[in-house]
Amino acid sequence: MSTRLEAKMEALRQAGRKALFIYITAGATGLEETIEAVRGAEAAGADVIELGLPFSDPMADGPVIQASSVSALKHGMTTAKEIELVKKLRTFTDIPLIGMGYINTMLHYGFEKYAQDFQAAGLDGFIVPDVPHEESADMRAACEKAGLHYAEFITPGTTEKRMEKTCEKATGFIYCVSNNGVTGVKKIDYSVIGKVCEKAKKLTKTPLAVGFGIGSPEAAVAAAEHADAVICGSAVVSRLLEGKKDEAFALIHSMREALDAAYGKE
């Protein structure tokens, strides 16, 4: 039996389409606003929601996502409220939900309990950017026990030897970091991560998702050439933080249309 994420990715693959992951920080503008943002993103064409689980000292995140985490914490966001948020989202959507969080929070809560409680609420997996593969065994095991995906990473600097290890047991998707920097809209030469993706495809059938720097339909199309999915975060989050939700949804819709126009749609 496949998971929500596996079923979605397989359906898109069979249709010859690329997946669009949209990052939204939980509670950045309030809980109800986050629910509205997820609903709007899905209606606009998002295939997967990457739900940011705010932390005071995030790694890999650029200024926009950092600001959204600060805002969420000021709004009183906690792990308990994040779990309740996932439960509320599951009352109206079956879209795959992937939590992006940080290891300190998970360790403090308890790895197994963290994975079990989020899985029971309806989450489908985790992205944990501040723990290298070699030190992630405990959280990966907790996710596996709970039936959750644990995303692995590859970057422009990943060696083939290391890639063999990270791809070996990867499920759900592999996060392909487009550049050696932090999140945020910027001009990226996606052929660099593209070469890494081509090597990964020889090692795994797990879908590849390119993230970092994608803030326009053109960038989404360029990044998708090398992978099964693209991830957009800062460009959407910045608009949500500014109260420009219609602009955020319009951007998502334009990306969806551009991806379908470039790569086909049944």
Residues marked as catalytic = 50, 61
CA angle 224–229–235, rounded 5-degree value: 80
Helix (H) or strand (E) holding 21: strand 19-25
CA distance 228 to 197: 10
Helix (H) or strand (E) holding 231: strand 229-232
Start-to-end CA distance of the chain, whole Å, equals 25
On the CB side of 201, CA atoms within 13 Å amount to 11
Among residues 234, 251, 225, 253, which one has the least CA distance to residue 18?
Answer: 225
CA angle 169–12–32, rounded 5-degree value: 90
Return the structure tokens found at 80.
């308990």
Q: Any residues with CB less than 8 A from the CB of 252 and at least 6 apart, and which? A: 20, 22, 41, 44, 45, 46, 232, 236
